[in-house]
A and B are shown apart, each in its own frame.
Chain A
Amino acid sequence: MDPEFFEAAAMPLFDQLYNFAHWLTGNRSDAEDLVQETYAKALKGFRSFQEGTNLRAWMYRILRNSFLTSRTGLGAHNVSPLDDEMDITALAAHSLTPEFLVLQQEGKQTVRDALACLPLNYREVILLCEIEEMQYKEIAEVLGVPIGTVMSRLARARKMLRELLTAKPTEKVSKWTVIKTPSH
């Protein structure tokens, strides 16, 4: 599309993209850098954007790929192997962050805390679904994977969150009461 229309088309997505960037990076300054980089890249590539396709998914994809290739993306968060057949216990044993294990022991965490512990490829899929409220089809576009993969990653992400939000898997029922619900 003609770059002349970029500002009008892309600025309405600014708040959403920033929110997602802040969730991914965990702080304002990195989120701003990421959003700025996203807009610069999108403007540059806007001619190749196909009119009539999903601009939001296209922009999110640029943002997400920028995050993956940035130092923040690779340095601060381990990306667990993309093998969706991998066993969840093996995943927990090998790829989850130290924070995950600490949280597992502490056993009382908010969703926000728990999210920060997920490996990136599970964190991003659940953020897009629950925070950005995207449909599976759009998430698949952003991540560049089939819908089936979105579904299986979401299921695993939720399973991990469940474990994080529960002190001991054997005491699930009683522990649900300790989930904090911060006031708005």
Chain B
Amino acid sequence: MDCDQNPVALGAYLDDELHASEAAALREHIGGCPKCATEIAELVRIKRGFRAVGPRFAPSPEFRRRVEQQISYPSRRFWRLQLIPAAVFAAAVLLVVIASALFLHRPNDFAEIADLHVNALASANPVDVVSTDRHTVKPWFQGRIPFSFNVPEFAGTEFTLLGGRVIYFHQRPGAQLIVAVRQHKISVLIFQAGPELDRSFAFPEGVGHHNTFSIDTWQSQGLRYFVIGDADPSAIGKLSTTFKAANP
């Protein structure tokens, strides 16, 4: 029964971690050593026990999405500015705080508009239709939203159309256009106007500036427009003007 075999080697043998020659030698030894044979049998039982521990733990799809969103690299397709989602969210939180202070009557609606903008920037696929051509973007929305609007011509201006997507606000579908100006992304959000929206956003005309985001909103031809982004207020104002001109 006296055997100087290192028990560590038996485990390594089972784990297939020995060199072929070592493994062969050990196999031969086990064949003639009752002590090692018993030892191996017990190690095999332990190893077999692990097969019976049941299925692996699986992450939930929601959790996977959350982490994906957290680490996604927004500049992959066309963000020239490398926005870090965390920074965007921090900015959104700040905005919500500021917005709450400024628009106490319906702070949540204002925050939701900001969220729509932030979500697009943080998303791996910020737009559903990728196009710099207004003639592509406008028809794309037909049949997807219950209204139509004109996309201004950006050729020769400081603005570049990046694309658009359908969004929802209070269960109502609307259009979101993403427009770039230099290093900044601006969202233009358009919804059908209604008494509820008017009440929520009846703050004074003109571009409001709140540290991180500037926002402009107006109503025209039964539609409610929002222009929001971290560009300077004059750029927001200019973009608003082009939309107002295209949708008199």
Interface residues of A (CB under 8 A from B): 3-4, 6-7, 10-11, 14-15, 18-19, 22-23, 28, 31-32, 35-36, 39-40, 43, 110-112, 129-131, 135-136, 151-152, 154-155, 158-159, 161-162, 165, 172, 176, 179-182, 184
Contact = CB atoms under 8 A, between A and B. Distances in A.
A136 B12 contact: yes
Given A32-B63, A111-B50, A184-B55, A11 B68 contact: yes
7 contacts: A6-B73, A11-B67, A19-B58, A32-B59, A111-B53, A136-B17, A151-B12
Interface string B69-93: 0111101100000000000000000
B49 A165 contact: yes
Contact of A15 (B12, B15, B58): B58
B19 interface: no
A39 B43 contact: no
What band does the interface of chain B fall in when counting residues whose beta carbon is under 8 Å from A? 20 to 34
Contacts of A182: 52-54
Contacts of B45: 176, 179
A10 B59 contact: no
B8 interface: yes
A179 B51 CA distance: 12
B66 interface: yes
B11 interface: yes
Contacts, number: 102
B59 A161 contact: no
Given A35-B67, A130-B50, A182-B52, A3 B73 contact: yes
Contacts of A32: 59, 63
B46 A111 contact: yes
A18 B124 CA distance: 22
For the residues of A in contact with B, the DSSP-based class is helix
Nearest to B12: A151
B56 A19 contact: yes
For the residues of B in contact with A, the DSSP-based class is helix
A23 B53 CA distance: 11
B199 interface: no
A162 B46 contact: yes
Interface string B13-46: 0010100000000000000000000000011011
B8 A155 contact: yes
B35 to A, nearest CB: 13
Contacts of B52: 110-111, 180-182
A151 B12 CA distance: 7
A182 B52 CA distance: 6
B12 A112 contact: no
Given A19-B57, A19-B58, A129-B15, A7 B72 contact: yes
Contacts of A10: 71
Interface in B79-118: none
A158 B58 contact: no
B67 A131 contact: no
A4 B75 contact: yes
B139 interface: no
Contact of A136 (B15, B66, B75): B15
A64 B135 CA distance: 53
Given A15-B58, A155-B8, A158-B11, A110 B53 contact: yes
Given A130-B47, A165-B49, A179-B49, A152 B8 contact: yes
